[in-house]
Structure 1
């Protein structure tokens, strides 16, 4: 139900945003040519631009996270992203008009358009927030919620429902046999035990119940569910093993016996994997051809800068834990493979060459990995591969670390575009990697590639 409500709200948001784009262009044209007597392009000439701008705005808003299912950003952050997307869309349109040598479009209309789109979209989103807030505040469309259990899951659920108030859930109380009535958990009072459940549901006019009891109390399930069903309230179970399964678990069955796949990997699907691999081959091949002049300049620069080979090959762990040689431009002084395989690069590392420092800061040293992508060792997007020495350490210390090897490693990834690279938290990187693995879709790859272009190459943590 929560997910369905959010999806409905997101669809409404998309329709309203795109309506603002159309309205802004109409108003911009009207403001520019209202009572204008000289000849000019009719509005029908701007329709092709509108056909481009509507899907372009949707894609930019999507890539900038303005349609995230559980957005938690402040209105200030949302406003900044809207303005950035609108400026970018107008710049793309101007560039296209320039290349097409289209000189009859009014630049003043486009200036009005970017201002009006920003003002209207921001106003629409602020208004929608205010409307939803007032609806909840006046008691409309609120759901009175009862939580059964006081463990770790209950605390997490209370935090989530409190933080996402736009969902309209008001927590009336908590039911638990192990805590005294009146005591509070995360600000919510315990209103009774399991024996009091029926009375609490009736008196509190409960609409929805969340059961969060631990496995050791599963013997109470029959009684709890019987009472909940009798009350007619919607009932949802938050399984105690939730931390072991993804947010959208894949269900299967053998002869009627239900199975839950604890790690759903969309790329296990042949067609999805084939489409990703086809894109990798095409993109890496074209990328190598386009970058040939740059590659030649870097090769010459490395030869002049320091003695030694141009390329650096290092063993990494990839798909299905298979080892492969990953290629980079050499950015450090020549050293033994034993030293390079076991030492972490840190800020101010004196092993780097002068040119190498620049190459690493801009991530240009990674360009030879396009060859790894073409060969099939890597993908354009995926978890970054690590050296066997560190893999053997991390798998013992970092929970779920080895899950990253269920897909091809990438040149860039969700962790990297979010700043988790270099000497940063391995746990945070793995969280990002697992999120990517479980939520992969082609547009997600495109989003990461675009984010890499805008902010991923130059990074303060790239040593």
Structure 2
């Protein structure tokens, strides 16, 4: 067998070796943490049970996070973030299980195990990625690609692949009926090029792993001719349609009822992701409400003493799929403040809030009751901030992509908020950040945003 094709031919074996490595890291890190923190040997039954549970949970949730897919062409951040998200989910579930079963284990052991195990998993993936990148740059474990292209999309794909040797993609040939291919010829002086009708013979005579058809959607008839010409081809065939000009969200290709479907705009909260996100929200919201309950009581007393009226303020907002719900806040304005003015967009310099209410707004403490909304299922801890229906009607025609933010549940904090886009700031920028969050959602991104919120604090110059 040709040595340069070994990894490709044994990808399943490689995947199981990686799984075994991860299991060993989890086991060894747990034992090391036990020795460091407790100094006792062998581990007591409850610790062995916790380790076995963690291994079982990791095995069960790994498919949901798609940990052992082919990461060729994916960013380092995406791969490592997925590992962190899966590892964090395991410890959230373990914490929940130990709480429910009243199992007594050392917290210092659990934290030390979490940190050592995470470091081991991340270092392992970084070393593996570095090793594979080196192999691919030397010509090993590469996919030999032939592009049949037309227009700008063909050139764009060719340029991207020509600069992706470390990802394991080698552009071997480019065929097009376009008159001008000088830009393509400059990519590599040894690059084979010619007319599309010449490609069929080339593909049959040379080693080709994948054929990429990169053409505008309007070239349907030409694509049909190409597919007929490739009927004897054993290489993988991919279509890269010219959809770069569309405003897309989580685009992908799937099969629905046996029909091939190109997904142009989807919610990331589908399948296992929906339940992972719900579990994250419910567990964290319950723990946070339990922890901050004394603070909530003190604020409630402060609101009641500052002005007559109810402690809480219920305001109609929009969340996932445009569903309406009533968001809870500590009341920061006198009772009936909007009776005559109606819904008013909060701006700097306004003085409608009470003195205590102004303090709550500046410190974002008025938002704390929304953890109850999270527990009810109306909101998430992390997500785009919800808006009032009257403003949604106004902004949906003014701000590009505004309604797409409703593809996930509204959140208490979000990617836009931790970057300063809150209050009376540029709405276009805020929506860009919201859509970035939806496009790149992962459990790790949620955890990152929560930590950024804690580190940056709740006080913001745009909170009023």
TM-score (norm 1): 0.66
Deviation at 1:298, TM superposition (A): 0.8
Alpha-carbon distance change, 360 to 145 in structure 1, aligned in 2, over 3 angstroms: farther
Determine the structure 2 residue equivalent to 1:207.
209
Deviations 1:43-101 (A, max 9, x none): 566634533665788999999999896752469x969x97xx89x97xx99xx89x977
Structure 2's unaligned 5+ residue stretches are: 1-9
Please state how far the C-alpha of 1:212 moved relative to its aligned partner. 1.7
Distance 1:261 1:61 in 2: 24
| Alpha-carbon separation, structure 1, partners of 2:393 and 2:171 | 45
Q: Considering only aligned residues, what root-mean-square deviation do their CA atoms show, in Å?
A: 5.7
Preserved contact between residue 181 and residue 192 of structure 1 (Cα < 8 Å): no
CA contact (8 A) 1:183 1:190 kept: no
Distance 1:302 1:250 in 2: 52
1:191 aligns with 2:171: no
In 1, Cα distance between equivalents of 2:74 and 2:270: 28
Deviations, residues 297-316 of structure 1 (Å, cap 9, x unaligned): 11222345578764444343
Looking at structure 2, the residues matched to 52 and 163 of structure 1 have their Cα atoms a distance apart, in angstroms, of 44
Q: For 1:35-54, what aligned pairs fall within 5 Å after superposition?
A: 41-42=41-42, 47-48=48-49, 50-51=51-52, 54=55
3-state SS of paired residue (1:184): helix
Aligned twin of 1:327: 328
Quick check: 1:16 aligned with 2:21?
A: yes
Instruction: Provide the residue aligned with 1:36 in structure 2.
Output: none
Q: Does 1:401 align with 2:402?
A: yes
In the TM superposition, 1:258-407 aligns within 5 A as 263-264=265-266, 292-304=293-305, 310-318=311-319, 321=322, 323-331=324-332, 335-336=337-338, 341-345=343-347, 355-356=356-357, 359-360=360-361, 363-370=364-371, 372=373, 378=379, 383-405=384-406
Q: Which residue of 2 aligns with 1:142?
A: 142
**Structure 1 CA distance, aligned partners of 2:186 and 2:392?**
38
Structure 1 pair 198–248 and aligned structure 2 pair: CA distance change class (3 A): closer
- How many Å separate the matches in 2 of 1:111 and 1:266? 30
The match for 1:132 is 132
Aligned 1:433-444 pairs, distance under 5 A: 434-435=438-439
- CA distance in 2 between counterparts of 1:312 and 1:208 reads 59
More displaced, 299-308 or 171-180?
A: 299-308
1:220 and 2:245 correspond: no
Instruction: Tell me if the contact between 2:35 and 2:41 (Cα under 8 Å) persists in the aligned partners.
Output: no
Counterpart CA distance in 1 for 2:153 and 2:329 is 45
What's the CA shift string for 1:7-35, capped at 9, x where partnerless?
997775554233123234556778999xx
Q: Which residues of 2 match residues 43-192 of structure 1 at below 5 A?
A: 47-48=48-49, 50-51=51-52, 54=55, 72-73=75-76, 117=117, 120-121=120-121, 123-149=123-149, 151=151, 153-154=153-154, 157=157, 161=161, 167-184=167-184, 187=187, 191-192=193-194
Q: For residues 118 and 278 of structure 2, what CA distance do their matches in structure 1 show?
A: 38
Q: Which runs of 5+ in 1 are unaligned?
A: 34-38
For each residue in 1:403-430, what CA deviation from the matched residue of structure 2 results, as whole angstroms up to 9, or x when unmatched?
4446654445676678765536233244
CA contact (8 A) 1:181 1:190 kept: no
Take 2:270 and 2:238, find their aligned partners in 1: how far apart are those partners? 29
Are residue 431 (structure 1) and residue 431 (structure 2) matched?
A: no
Offset at residue 132 of structure 1 (A): 0.9
Higher-RCO chain (CA-CA 8 Å, sequence separation at least 6): 2
- Contact residue 314 and residue 341 of structure 1 kept, 8 A: no
TM-superposed CA distance for 1:156, in Å, is 5.8
CA separation in 2, counterparts of 1:148 and 1:184? Answer: 12
**Equivalence for 1:247:** 251
* Cα-to-partner distance string for 1:318-344 (whole Å, 9 max, x where unaligned): 455455543322346785468683425
Question: SS where residue 301 of structure 1 aligns?
Answer: helix
Q: Relative to structure 1, is the Cα distance of residues 419 and 15 closer, same or farther in structure 2, using a 3 angstrom cutoff?
A: farther
Deviation of residue 180 (structure 1)?
1.8
Go from structure 1 to structure 2 and tell me whether the alpha carbon gap of 1:448 and 1:219 turns closer, same or farther (over 3 Å shift): closer
Cα separation, 1, equivalents of 2:300 and 2:243: 53
Contact 1:214 1:240 in 2 (8 A): yes
CA shift, 1:369, in A, is 3.1
